[in-house]
Amino acid sequence: MVHKTKELLKTFNSEQKIIEYTRKEESKSLFELFFETIPDATMVISHNEFELFNCNHEFELLTGYSKTELLGTPLKEISLFKINNLEKYFSEVLKGSQKPQSVSLELQLLDGSKYYGLISSAIILIDNTKYILSIIKNNTEQKVLENKLRHSEEMHRLLADNASDVIWIMDLTGAFSYISPSVEKLRGFTVEEIMNQTQEELLCPSSRIYLEKGLEASIYAVQNNLPFIKFRGDMEQPCKDGSTVWTDLSVSGIFDKNHQFKGLLGVSRDISERRAMENEIRRLTEIDSLTQLYNRFKSDTVLKAEIERTQRSSSIFSIIMLDIDNFKKVNDAYGHTAGDEVLKGIARIIRSNIRKIDTAARWGGEEILIIIPETDILGAQNLSEKLLLKISEHSFPDIGHITASFGAAEYENGITEAVLVSRADKAMYEAKDAGKNCVRVYQDKENMS
């Protein structure tokens, strides 16, 4: 899978058309390549009716229907997905409250067999319309293994000692009674070393807190003779060489024939490949392929979050809108390839002269938006003048010097994202009218004395 992912990334890097989301035909090429590469069932659904917009061959095999039969069909009408309340899950994805990971599916296939999957989803933009991209990873083998382990301690030992997943048994105090030998391949520690580790050494801090909170309900259920509540989540674990590894952890209860609780059964699976694919999905949905700055979709999200943060903390922030001067003349005189190089060069200048907490995004065409937290209008003006100087001093091959016009605006409590951007845009056009290659800041003339 890692090899296939590297091949996919290599193809993405060499074929820029494939990852240009702002163009319809190139978006189609991306998905065609994406679907051909991913070995798991993959689908794209609309964000409003949750209708199937596209799917790959593995998805056809999973459902038992052809793409022609599936496209345009609401997900709830596909018999395979009538369970698990998937519409609620996708609604949470759209609201941004559902991370694209660790959501389990239990499906009934057409032949009557059960299929256990792990679905990961992310919002993508096609022709300025939101869709949901989902990858369903086959998890049936692990689930069957877990079921067998519950039935027999002897079978548990036999399978666990030879499984690639790490299987362990723990009591409610956190003491291990069994860890499968595969833990050494996963984390580099021997079974004996793991047995002697503290809770702080078993998991990275954020994952440890997540697990503790997740198991509270399970422990309460055991202590009060209630049905056991299973836990599942992604955990980051430290390795012996100083690195970390991400695992999909599922925890269930072990009960004897008298239904007496005997311990916690955990299964940890290495999900490094899956997380790499999820990160690539996120990268493709957030990054402008030409400039490698964030895209318009991502900047909208950051701008909204920054306004919410500023309102909560009563802090400040500003934005800068810049537009490359006479860019059409560059394209007309030197060609669009030369124009692309100018865009990439200016993007590099911006990235190297802003802070890590700042966000630079290609707003559209030759316009770039910069979001600068904890910065007032004077700070925005100073940064604009710095970038203006850096850009005007840079010499582009075959073209020479290029300039840009800058407009800056500070957030004012109560205004919307659209109003804030329009203010920076207005200031930028004032810079254009003033002769270009200069900076202007927004001033509310109606409220000026």
Give CA separation, 302 vs 142, 155, 340, 357, in Å.
Answer: 38, 51, 25, 11
For residue 102, give the nearest of 110, 94, 93 by alpha carbon: 93
Annotated active-site residue 20? The verdict is no
Catalytic annotation, pick one of 278, 286, 306, 366: 366
Q: Count Cα atoms within 13 angstroms, Cβ side, for 276.
A: 14
Tell how strand 439-441 and strand 404-410 pair up.
Answer: parallel
List of residues 6+ apart from 25 with CB closer than 8 A = 17
Q: Which of 293, 284, 297, 319 lies closest to 416, judged by CA?
A: 319
Beta strands in 191-284 (DSSP E): 231-238, 244-255, 261-270
Q: Which of 362, 370, 359 is nearest to 343 (CA)?
A: 362
Q: Which residue has the tokens 């920054």?
A: 306
Cα atoms found within 13 Å of the Cα of residue 179, Cβ hemisphere only? 21
Helix (H, G, I), strand (E, B) or coil at 101: coil
Backbone φ and ψ for 116, nearest 5 degrees, come out as -105, 125
| DSSP letter assigned to residue 372 | E
Residue 302, Cα to own-chain centre: how many angstroms?
14
How far separated are the first and last CA of the chain, in Å rounded? 65
Query: In sequence order, what are the residues at sequence separation of 6 or more whose Cβ sits closer than 8 angstroms to the Cβ of residue 375?
Result: 316, 317, 318, 383
- Nearest C-alpha neighbor of 300 from the set 379, 356, 364, 378: 364
Contact 372, 317 (CB under 8 A): yes
Measured CA distances, 189 to 203, 206, 242 (Å): 13, 21, 11
For 232, the token pair is 């599942």
Distance CA 168, CA 170 (A): 7
Residues in the chain: 449
Q: What is the largest CA-CA distance in the chain?
A: 86
CB 281 within 8 A of CB 133: yes
Positions marked active-site: 366
